[in-house]
């Protein structure tokens, strides 16, 4: 398919911009004026719409079909939420509007904070972080501020992370200026408590843990882990990536965690948008509240809502304004549609995952044979050993059956990993069709492995060469073919 | 009764539990210690129907005074530019809206090609070689650039001009301690930055960050500021809608160009979600944060697109990654691409020229009709400028809003000695009649 730049013809345009009469001539000082215009596409409006409509048909979303991408919680995104964010009172509200002109927005944010505090079992919430990974970084900044305030920041330099963690956890640790301590996983898929005991002491600042873990397993040693960390005076950080498993069932605050980030785009249905936006609010215990980012959203005695900028112990700001407001509208709407029935949402997510696991576990390898939570990790290592078919091949072949593949090759401790998260919003018929496809692929691997190796067969493109892309990166259109004059221009300008 | 967003019937559940080999849903949670279970219902208000939800949110929205209900001259980083209908149409395609990061390229050519086109548009706008797929906002991409500069130079200070957006400076300062960076600010002199002063501060620094047009709306001598950076990386924080009329940072020697993308194709939305763009010279490609899409071919030799250079990223490189970012702002960046496509090069120039002309006209009318004084009368501005209103600007805002006009941003919130200063923003959406209305209102309440 052509790029929009390859459909461009000089002199075409989709826009017309008003220019009232009688205005002064627009003036820019000579040395600051743009010399060469940017080569943006020149297309009429209908070509624009056709181009992006065609692109959309070459993409697969939750609206297209089953999308069991592990750890990403690809659930249905209710359409009413898309209508609600376009209400002029939300979409056209300027973030510098005075408080008395933004009472509806502030009340929505405050109510969302209250709901998130209840769901996480913690005391105070900041909505500001833009996504889960920024929530992590913000949480680690809170850890640092807390220990600075206690005079222990020089001594507490280490953050403990299990080997099953998302890559964001160690990356956030580095960006926050902390040192990493790795801890292993035991034979049942829990944190190895014996390994842990020797690694936690007065130099430890915090634990970062996803529970249920990226293996989809609830850590059976969590009570002991809590005693170890709090006994050493360290804090506990909960990566809320997998919160969809436990809403209304078990709360991170009740598990002993002091800081939690919530992925609004996972558990609370902000559409993933092809990669974003997300939302990564953090909830904390009361002793960490003074350090939350500024401003905080507050409720006043007179029933009004406001922003509190006067926070002497704050870590500062982590993004602009109060956070991604449109995400808050959608997630607030989603949670109001469930109310206390959020528990049913999590129960359905866990039931669906266990059902698919039960149907597939004989055909694929399973490293930890337990009941799972909202997701589970299979391995294609026997398929690879016996038939040369890898997790990648299984993933590509699933496309031919009309399903988005699971997350593959993660977590790192499972070879040939296939990480499957069905979420709650699927019919049993869909789950069965997916299981049938996975079983059929396991048979195909034995009978005609080339079907897997050459997959996908039914997508707009065949298997793409990622190595080639990285070896000689072409990350923008070159214009040379479309515009021979530009081809002669000096390179690297 | 089954919740509308759920699907399993009682018969489904019974059959599924049988297959699993447990007797109840409760049993699936047996690994959770009893003491850690909630043991009660969540204390939340009862579930709403969609109709009730719409009424509730409609009521909340109605208690906001948005730019359709109040004539607004607010800017200060977020702007009331026109968003064309084609943006809404494309963003509502469920295939874009409900997909995630294109880890499986054969399922995601639509998103991947659109990001490749977005990267191209950002490179064209900024005059840079490489763009990422977006960051969270104009604030966080500036912090990202500091991380690049720290690792590219091994130095430990970054210099930022005081005339740079205060929220950008705050976010940089929040991130800096973790990066092991110190932040040095260079004051403005009469609304712009003195290149000599910047040159002194830049000695031994990792980066020099300035904004063009700056937070006061004034045009910096950007090429001189870039040159003043010396060995430090010059980083320009730019308004994308200015780049049809103002020179591209890549053409005056900047190492990195970045900014807030909201003005290009996103509604103000009380501060987000929007997108931050980040583009750099080729030499920084392996230090870039976040997703980058590259061109390749499939097994049949056909052109296609994939996420590339992933060894920079957290899911591969973990603690040695160039950033922790995963989820970005792809959908909002898509809005940006659609908007820039809608504009084309001529439209981009038209928007810039209309903003320039309207702002110049507004300055003139405010002086003539309202008797306000320009704070920086000798400076050229783009779409925003500072005026003295004779008394506390926050009081002026309150009184003007009583008359249905939001006259601008109170600069005293961020700058000492500016309690009586308003920052007035004029986009292409404002008309001469509306500008006269602002002048009349300021004449009435401004002193």
Could you give the count of Cα atoms lying within 13 Å of B319 in the half-sphere of its Cβ? 16
Domain B71-82+344-445 classification at class level: alpha beta
CA A432 and chain centroid, separation: 27
Contacts of B251 in chain A (CB under 8 A): 35-36, 493
Do the Cβ atoms of B268 and A327 come within 8 Å?
no
The domain spans of chain B are 71-82+344-445, 86-338
Determine the pLDDT at residue A486. Answer: 40
Helix axes B10-20, A428-447, angle to 10 degrees: 40
- Sort strands A376-379 and A417-420 into parallel, antiparallel or unpaired: antiparallel
* Residues of chain A below pLDDT 70: 481-493
Rounded to 5 degrees, what are φ and ψ at A131?
A: -165, 175
- B88 at the A interface (CB within 8 A)? yes
Q: Whole-angstrom Cα distance, residue A140 to residue A293? A: 12
Rounded to 5 degrees, what are φ and ψ at A213?
A: -75, 180
DSSP string, A274-331: TT------EEE-GGGGGGSPSSEEEE-TTS-EEEE---TT----SSSTTS-HHHHHHH
Determine the pLDDT at residue A493. Answer: 36
What are the structure tokens assigned to A122, written together?
Answer: 């913690």
Determine the pLDDT at residue B1. Answer: 67
Do the Cβ atoms of B16 and A469 come within 8 Å?
no
pLDDT single digits (tens) A377-414: 999 999 999 999 999 999 999 999 999 999 999 999 99
Q: Whole-angstrom Cα distance, residue B400 to residue B405? A: 5
What are the structure tokens assigned to A40, written together?
Answer: 């943006």
Contacts of A484 (CB under 8 A, 6+ apart): none
Q: Whole-angstrom Cα distance, residue B83 to residue A403? A: 35
Contacts of B357 in chain A (CB under 8 A): 19, 23-26
Q: Taking chain B, what is the end-to-end CA distance rounded to the nearest angstrom?
A: 63
Rounded to 5 degrees, what are φ and ψ at B409?
A: -100, 140
Cis peptide before A212 (omega within 30 of 0): yes
CB contacts under 8 A, A 395-454 vs B, are 395-396, 399, 404-405, 407, 410, 424-428, 454
Determine the pLDDT at residue B446. Answer: 80
- B271 at the A interface (CB within 8 A)? yes
- A283 at the B interface (CB within 8 A)? no
Contacts of B243 in chain A (CB under 8 A): 34, 38
Q: What is the pTM of this model?
A: 0.97
Find where tokens 């038939």 sit. Answer: A387
CB contacts under 8 A, B 27-56 vs A, are 27-33, 35-38, 41-48, 50, 53-54, 56
Contacts of A18 (CB under 8 A, 6+ apart): B354, B428
- A82 at the B interface (CB within 8 A)? yes
Could you give the count of Cα atoms lying within 13 Å of B342 in the half-sphere of its Cβ? 24
Give me the residue from B61, B179, B314 closest to A168, CB to CB.
Answer: B314
Find where tokens 């592990």 sit. Answer: A70
Q: Are B71-82+344-445 and B86-338 in the same CATH fold?
A: no
What are the structure tokens assigned to B389, written together?
Answer: 């209103």
CB contacts under 8 A, A 461-480 vs B, are 461-466, 468-470, 473-477
CB contacts under 8 A, A 294-333 vs B, are 315-327, 329, 332-333
CB contacts under 8 A, B 288-327 vs A, are 291-300, 302, 304-311, 313-321, 323-327
Contact in structure between A226 and A236 (CB atoms under 8 Å): yes
Domains of chain A as residue ranges with CATH: 82-340 (3.40.640.10), 343-465 (3.90.1150.10)
pLDDT single digits (tens) A69-106: 999 999 999 999 999 999 999 999 999 999 999 999 99
Q: What is the pLDDT along chain B (447 residues), one digit of tens a residue?
A: 689 999 999 999 999 999 999 999 999 999 999 999 999 999 999 999 999 999 999 999 999 999 999 999 999 999 999 999 999 999 999 999 999 999 999 999 999 999 999 999 999 999 999 999 999 999 999 999 999 999 999 999 999 999 999 999 999 999 999 999 999 999 999 999 999 999 999 999 999 999 999 999 999 999 999 999 999 999 999 999 999 999 999 999 999 999 999 999 999 999 999 999 999 999 999 999 999 999 999 999 999 999 999 999 888 889 999 999 999 999 999 999 999 999 999 999 999 999 999 999 999 999 999 999 999 999 999 999 999 999 999 999 999 999 999 999 999 999 999 999 999 999 999 999 999 999 999 999 986
A164-184 as b/e: b if 16+ CB within 10 A: bbbbbbbbbbbbbbbebbebe
pLDDT single digits (tens) A322-354: 999 999 999 999 999 999 999 999 999 999 999
The whole-angstrom distance between B107's CA and the closest CA on chain A is 6
Contacts of A47 (CB under 8 A, 6+ apart): A7, A12, A14
- For B84, nearest residue in chain A (alpha carbons): A15
CA atoms B300, B304, B307, B311: torsion sign: positive
CATH code for residues B86-338: 3.40.640.10
- Sort strands B130-131 and B182-186 into parallel, antiparallel or unpaired: unpaired
Determine the pLDDT at residue A490. Answer: 42
Do the Cβ atoms of A465 and B298 come within 8 Å?
yes
Cis peptide before B158 (omega within 30 of 0): no
Contact in structure between B114 and A52 (CB atoms under 8 Å): yes
- A74 at the B interface (CB within 8 A)? yes
Give me the residue from A90, A254, A340 closest to B41, CB to CB.
Answer: A340
Contact in structure between A271 and B111 (CB atoms under 8 Å): no
How many helices (H) and strands (E) are present in chain B, helices listed first?
13, 15
Cα A278 to Cα A78, A129, B288: the distances in Å are: 16, 9, 20
Q: Is B77 helix (H, G, I), strand (E, B) or coil?
A: coil
Cα B28 to Cα A221, A352, A427, B10: the distances in Å are: 17, 11, 19, 16
Residue A256's nearest CA partner among A281, A291, A219 is A219
ipTM of the complex: 0.98
The single-letter DSSP state of residue B304 is E
């Amino acid at each position: 398919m052509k790029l929009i730049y390859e459909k461009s013809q000089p002199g075409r345009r989709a826009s017309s911009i008003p220019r009232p009469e009688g205005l002064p001539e627009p003036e820019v000082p000579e040395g600051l004026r743009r010399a060469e215009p940017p080569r943006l596409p020149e297309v009429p409006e209908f070509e624009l719409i056709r181009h992006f409509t065609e692109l959309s048909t070459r993409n697969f979303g939750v609206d297209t079909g089953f999308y069991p991408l592990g750890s990403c919680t690809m659930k249905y995104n209710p359409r009413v939420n898309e209508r609600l964010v376009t209400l002029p009172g939300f979409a056209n509200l300027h973030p510098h509007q005075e408080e008395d002109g933004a009472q509806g927005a502030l009340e929505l944010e405050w109510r969302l904070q209250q709901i998130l505090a209840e769901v996480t079992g913690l005391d105070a919430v900041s909505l500001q972080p833009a996504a889960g990974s920024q929530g992590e970084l913000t949480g680690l900044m809170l850890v640092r501020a807390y220990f600075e305030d206690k005079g222990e920041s020089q001594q507490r330099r280490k953050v403990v992370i299990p080997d099953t963690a998302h890559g964001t956890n160690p990356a956030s640790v580095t960006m926050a200026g902390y040192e990493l301590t790795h801890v292993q996983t035991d034979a049942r898929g829990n944190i190895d408590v014996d390994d842990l005991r020797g690694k936690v002491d007065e130099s430890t600042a915090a634990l970062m843990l996803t529970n249920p873990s990226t293996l989809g397993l609830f850590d059976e040693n969590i009570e002991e882990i809590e005693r170890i960390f709090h006994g050493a005076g360290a804090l506990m950080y909960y990566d809320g990536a997998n919160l969809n498993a436990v809403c209304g069932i078990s709360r991170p605050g009740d598990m002993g965690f002091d800081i939690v980030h919530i992925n609004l785009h996972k558990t609370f249905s902000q559409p993933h948008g092809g990669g974003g936006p997300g939302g990564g609010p953090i909830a904390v215990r009361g002793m960490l509240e003074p350090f939350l980012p500024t401003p905080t959203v507050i409720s006043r005695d007179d029933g009004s809502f406001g922003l509190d900028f006067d926070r002497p112990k704050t870590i500062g700001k982590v993004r602009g304004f109060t956070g991604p407001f449109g995400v808050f509208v959608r997630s607030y709407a989603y949670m109001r549609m469930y109310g206390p029935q959020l528990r049913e949402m999590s129960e359905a997510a866990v039931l669906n995952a266990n059902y698919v696991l039960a149907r597939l576990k004989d055909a694929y390898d399973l490293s930890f044979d337990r009941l799972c939570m909202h997701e589970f990790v299979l391995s294609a290592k026997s398929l690879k050993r016996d038939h040369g078919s890898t997790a990648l091949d299984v993933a590509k072949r699933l496309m031919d059956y009309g399903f988005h593949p699971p997350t593959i090759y993660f977590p790192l401790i499972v070879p040939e990993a296939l990480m499957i998260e069905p979420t709650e919003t699927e019919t049993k018929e869909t789950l069965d069709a997916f299981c049938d496809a996975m079983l059929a692929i396991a048979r195909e691997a034995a009978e005609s492995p080339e079907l897997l190796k050459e997959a996908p067969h039914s997508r707009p493109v065949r298997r793409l060469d990622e190595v080639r892309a990285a070896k000689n990166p072409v990350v923008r259109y070159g214009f040379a073919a479309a515009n021979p004059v530009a081809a002669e221009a000096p390179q690297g300008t | 009764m089954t919740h509308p967003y759920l699907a399993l019937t009682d018969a489904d559940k019974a059959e599924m539990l049988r297959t699993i080999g447990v007797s109840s849903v409760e049993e699936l949670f047996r690994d959770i210690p009893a003491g850690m279970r909630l043991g009660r219902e969540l204390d939340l208000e009862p579930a709403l129907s969609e109709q009730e939800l719409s009424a509730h949110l409609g009521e909340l929205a109605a208690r906001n005074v948005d730019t359709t209900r109040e004539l607004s001259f607010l800017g200060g980083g977020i702007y009331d530019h026109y968003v064309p209908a084609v943006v809404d149409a494309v963003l509502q395609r469920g295939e874009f809206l409900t997909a995630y990061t294109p880890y499986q390229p054969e399922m995601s050519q639509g998103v991947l090609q659109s990001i490749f086109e977005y990267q191209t548009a950002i490179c064209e706008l900024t005059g840079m070689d490489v763009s990422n797929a977006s960051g969270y906002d104009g604030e966080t991409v500036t912090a990202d650039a500091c991380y690049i500069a720290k690792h590219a130079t091994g130095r430990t200070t970054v210099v930022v001009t005081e005339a740079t957006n205060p929220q950008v400076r705050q976010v940089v300062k929040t991130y800096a301690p973790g990066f092991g960076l110190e932040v040095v600010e260079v004051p403005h002199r009469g609304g712009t930055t003195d290149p000599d002063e910047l040159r002194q501060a830049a000695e031994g620094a990792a980066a020099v960050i300035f904004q063009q047009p700056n937070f006061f709306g004034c045009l910096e001598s950007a090429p001189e500021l870039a040159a003043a950076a010396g060995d430090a990386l010059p980083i320009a924080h730019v308004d994308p809608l200015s780049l049809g009329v103002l020179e591209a940072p890549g053409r005056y020697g900047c190492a990195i160009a970045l900014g807030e993308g909201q003005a290009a194709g996103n509604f103000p939305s009380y501060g987000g979600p929007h997108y931050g763009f980040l583009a750099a010279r080729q030499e920084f490609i392996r230090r870039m944060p976040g997703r980058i899409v590259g061109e390749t071919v499939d097994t049949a030799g056909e052109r296609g697109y994939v996420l590339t250079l992933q060894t920079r990223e957290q899911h591969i490189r973990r603690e040695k990654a160039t950033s922790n970012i995963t989820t970005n702002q792809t959908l909002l960046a898509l809005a940006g691409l659609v908007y820039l496509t809608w504009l084309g090069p001529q439209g981009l120039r038209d928007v810039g020229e209309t903003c320039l002309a309207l702002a110049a006209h507004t300055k003139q009318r405010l002086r003539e009709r309202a008797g306000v004084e320009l704070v920086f009368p000798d400076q050229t501005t783009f779409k925003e400028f500072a005026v003295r209103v004779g008394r506390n600007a926050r009081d002026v805002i309150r009184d003007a809003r009583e008359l249905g006009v939001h006259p601008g941003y109170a600069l005293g919130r961020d700058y000492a000695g500016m309690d009586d200063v308003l920052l007035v923003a004029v986009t292409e959406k404002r008309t001469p009649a509306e500008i006269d209305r602002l002048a009349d209102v300021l004449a009435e309440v401004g002193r």
